[in-house]
Each structure stands twice: as C-alpha cells, then as structure tokens.
A and B are shown apart, each in its own frame.
Chain A
Amino acid sequence: DARVTQTPRHKVTEMGQEVTMRCQPILGHNTVFWYRQTMMQGLELLAYFRNRAPLDDSGMPKDRFSAEMPDATLATLKIQPSEPRDSAVYFCASGLDQSGATNEKLFFGSGTQLSVL
C-alpha cells in the first residue's frame, strides 16, 4: 500500500533549537510539496520540488526555513532557529507530474505536529 511517510509524527522543542522534518514520497513520484496548516490560511504552500529541483519556495520564510531533496526518496524541511510561531502541522505530499500533462493528484502524508515552546 503506497503512502507518503513523514517523520516524526510529533515534535516538541524549545525556541532556538533546530528542527528537521522528513518525508519519503511514494516510489516513482517526481513532485514533492511541503505545506503548513494554519488556522488563517488553511494549507499554506512552503515549497515545491519537481525531479528534486526546487521550483517554488516563495511561501517559505527564507531566514530560518530550508527545504531540500538529497535524493528521490527523501525530502527534508528544516527550521533553524525555531520560534513559537512556527508551531503548526507540517504536511508533505507527493505526486506524479508527467511533462505536458496535469499533475493528477497529490497524496498526503500524516503530517508532523510541531510545538515550539
């Protein structure tokens, strides 16, 4: 049963600490998205990769957030230093974007619940 795997499921940390969230996309998918769930904005797009290349990270605070895909099976989202306002659920999603065709649908992971004290 193919699924997007996110780790950790829950993370509690103190302000100023580095946080790393990991995502394993579904095998064969070539797009990865990072979203943050907020009360005001619903699912806020942070970063978007296609074939491991970052295509859009305009929604991500650049001073403290970074997103990478070291290989096709791993995407990471890092926050350094973390702040209480970063507390949220962070979702990763993957999809298959075939050149010239519409990205049919995204499959979401279960999310990482981050609490920064």
Chain B
Amino acid sequence: ILNVEQSPQSLHVQEGDSTNFTCSFPSSNFYALHWYRWETAKSPEALFVMTLNGDEKKKGRISATLNTKEGYSYLYIKGSQPEDSATYLCALGNQFYFGTGTSLTVIP
C-alpha cells in the first residue's frame, strides 16, 4: 500500500478566487497519478491521468501538473465557482491508492 498524502485537508475560498492543492507520493517506482473529483452524495469522477514528469493537463478552469522526481502533483482551479465545491482526490499507480482528499468549499 503506497502512502499518498494530500494537503490541505479542507479549503474555503471566495467565488472568483483561484486556488491550488497538493498531492504528495513516493517518487520511487512511479507509474501514474490520477485526479478525481467527488461531489457530495455522488461517486468520484475522473479528471486527469498523468504519467510523465512535467506533464500538464487542463480541463476548463482546472489544471494539474506533475513532478515525479520530487513526488508531487498540484491541482489548480482558476476563478473558483460554487459548483467547484467537492472533494478532490489523487490516486497513485495502477492500483489506484487514493489520498484522503482535499475538501473544497467555494463561498458565493
């Protein structure tokens, strides 16, 4: 079981603010890093999968970067909207070991 850590645990931002959070993981034997979005009372949904050091992925106002040498990934949300409120999870490897997530609340 791989140790995947996410920070912060929770975050409150004002509508329109940009924000980011971190996923940290062991840098040895890296295979893939996944980001998921989990809205309350729903199931997690995939955002990105990244495999190469320096990868950057973007989907609308959400983007992610990957540094496999130092073992971290950042998720950025530009101009947060209330509908972005969710828990954002990262998962490591083909076995999908998930971190505990960052709970984001966007205040209108």
| A residues whose Cβ falls under 8 Å from a Cβ of B | 33, 35, 40-43, 45, 48, 55-56, 58-59, 91, 93, 97, 102-111
By size class, the interface of chain B is 10 to 19
CB <8 Å contact, A48 and B95: yes
Q: Please state if A45 and B49 are interface contacts (CB–CB under 8 Å).
A: no
Task: Give the interface of B toward A (CB within 8 A).
Answer: 1, 31-32, 34, 43-46, 49, 51, 89, 94-101
Minimum CB–CB distance from B84 to chain A (whole Å) comes to 19
Closest residue of chain B to A108 (Cβ to Cβ) is B43
A105–B101 CA distance with the chains assembled, in angstroms = 17
Which of chain A's residues has its CB closest to B99's CB?
A42
Residues of B within 8 A of A97 (CB): 94
Would A110 and B43 count as touching, CB distance under 8 A? yes
Q: Is the CB of A58 within 8 A of B1?
A: yes
Could you tell me the distance between the alpha carbons of A42 and B97 in the complex, rounded to whole angstroms? Answer: 10
**In the complex the two chains form, what is the Cα distance from A97 to B98 in whole Å?**
18
B1 touches A104 (CB 8 A): no
- Distance to closest chain A CB from B20 (angstroms): 19
Give the CA-CA distance A111 to B38 in the complex, in Å. Answer: 13
Contact flag A41-B43 (CB < 8 Å), given A48-B95, A59-B1, A103-B94: no
CB distance from A107 to the nearest CB of B (A): 8
With A and B bound together, what is the CA distance between A59 and B96 in angstroms? 12
A105 to B31, CA, bound (A): 14
From B49, B89, B95, contact of A105 by CB (8 A): B49
Contacts of B94 in A (CB 8 A): 97, 102-103
